[in-house]
Amino acid sequence: MAGLELQHIEKTFGRTRVLHDVSFEVSDGKFFVLLGPSGCGKSTLLRIIAGLEPQTRGSVSFGGQCVDDVPPSDRDIAMVFQHYALYPHLTVKENLAFGLKMRREPKSVIEARIAETAALLEIYDLLDRKPKELSGGQQQRVAMGRAIVRKPKLFLFDEPLSNLDARLRASMRVELKKLHRRLGTTMVYVTHDQSEAMTLGHAVVVMNRGRIQQIGRPEQIYHEPANPFVAGFIGNPPMNLFEGSYRLDQRQLEFLMGDLTFRFPFQAHERIGAGTGTATLGVRPEDVTFEPEGPGHVASTGTIDLVENLGNDSIVHIMVKGQSLMARTSFGFRQHAGESITIYVKNFHLFINDNRIPLPSL
């Protein structure tokens, strides 16, 4: 059942407004990710959904029912906290049982659910231990178990993997995805880690400074970023962004930066009329190549500044006409710093007035 809907949520702390008119809908059973840099309001939003924090304005509904006046205990949700928040004076088993006991489930049900959850998360051996006797990864599993065992309508995750080391984080990510497929329950997941967002989410909300920047499928957000913020935030290494100006006439759109000019076949339309103004041009490091791959690719020459070897690929920093640019090559890049190089760009992103202007593919 539990689809989630947020309507015009606003939140102010004292005089600071941390959320501005946030609205979105999560359909039942989806994995929904709130992504953004720290301080963007994503955790506050999650806490509002949980009922731990009252919103200043707007409303939250579960499955079409407004829950604004429902306390967290009655929202039938489970939350996994960043720092796990396991009850330190209770054993793992008691931690798992706590929520069920509070809901006065019969003992047999509690036992069965704990057994089921412990098997699912492979924490059977830990049941009699106290949280402080567990490793970080084990604590994480128990925290997850405490949420699963309740069989809630909605799972909320507040950066649950951020305290784990890189390797464990990667494996937990996979497990989490499997878990979601298995349980089929709606999940809302807060993270600042774009790779978590991209791999886990059916849909991703990118937030910055308390505002939604873009909502979309992971690939949509990657390929068609709505504005320069999203373009620069998603992707590793980040998209190369260049500030410049544009000139649009009947036949073509020009992007001007210093003595560089890029021309795109383009028709003026209602969103931007003919004229000039400031603009941002974006190039993904993956879209920079050293061999021409198509006829329309824009070519230029530059000097290699630095080569970062990452094993199976390399990040090449290149100075092109006074501008620094990053390129990502798949493998076998043999050139060194100081050498000159010809680059080809196979795809551009253009933003005018902070909005994406769809360009025809080259």
Partner 1 sequence: MMHRPILLGGILLAVLGSLCPFLWFVLTSFKSQIQVEAIPPTWWPDGSLVFYASALFEHRLLHYVRNSVTVAGSATVIALIAATPAAYALARLRLPGKTWILGGLLCVAMFPPIVIAGPVWQILERLGGLNTHWGLVLPYVSLTLPLAVWILTTFFHELPIELEEAARIDGCTTWQALYKIMLPLAAPGLFTAAILTFIYAWNEFFFALLILTDPERQTLPVGIALFQGEFIMPWGEIAAASVIATLPLIILVLLFQRGIINGLSAGAVKK
Residues near partner 1, by CB under 8 A: 47, 50, 52, 71-73, 75, 77-79, 81-89, 98-99, 102-103, 130-134, 136, 139, 146, 150, 163
CB of 73 to partner 1, least distance (A): 5
CB of 16 to partner 1, least distance (A): 14
CB of 59 to partner 1, least distance (A): 20
| CA distance linking residue 104 with residue 106, whole number of Å | 6
CB of 185 to partner 1, least distance (A): 15
71 versus 273: smaller Cβ distance to partner 1:
71
90 versus 260: smaller Cβ distance to partner 1:
90
13 versus 124: smaller Cβ distance to partner 1:
13
Contacting residues for 172 by C-beta, under 8 A, at least 6 apart: 137, 140, 160, 161, 164
| CA distance linking residue 81 with residue 73, whole number of Å | 16
CB of 227 to partner 1, least distance (A): 33
CB of 277 to partner 1, least distance (A): 46
79 versus 325: smaller Cβ distance to partner 1:
79
Is the distance from CB of 51 to CB of 75 less than 8 angstroms? yes
82 versus 199: smaller Cβ distance to partner 1:
82
CB of 282 to partner 1, least distance (A): 38
Is the distance from CB of 276 to CB of 248 less than 8 angstroms? yes
Is the distance from CB of 310 to CB of 246 less than 8 angstroms? no
35 versus 134: smaller Cβ distance to partner 1:
134
Give the pairing of strands 4-13 and 57-62. Answer: antiparallel
CB of 79 to partner 1, least distance (A): 5
88 versus 106: smaller Cβ distance to partner 1:
88
106 versus 273: smaller Cβ distance to partner 1:
106
Closest residue by Cα to residue 300 from 321, 279, 285: 321
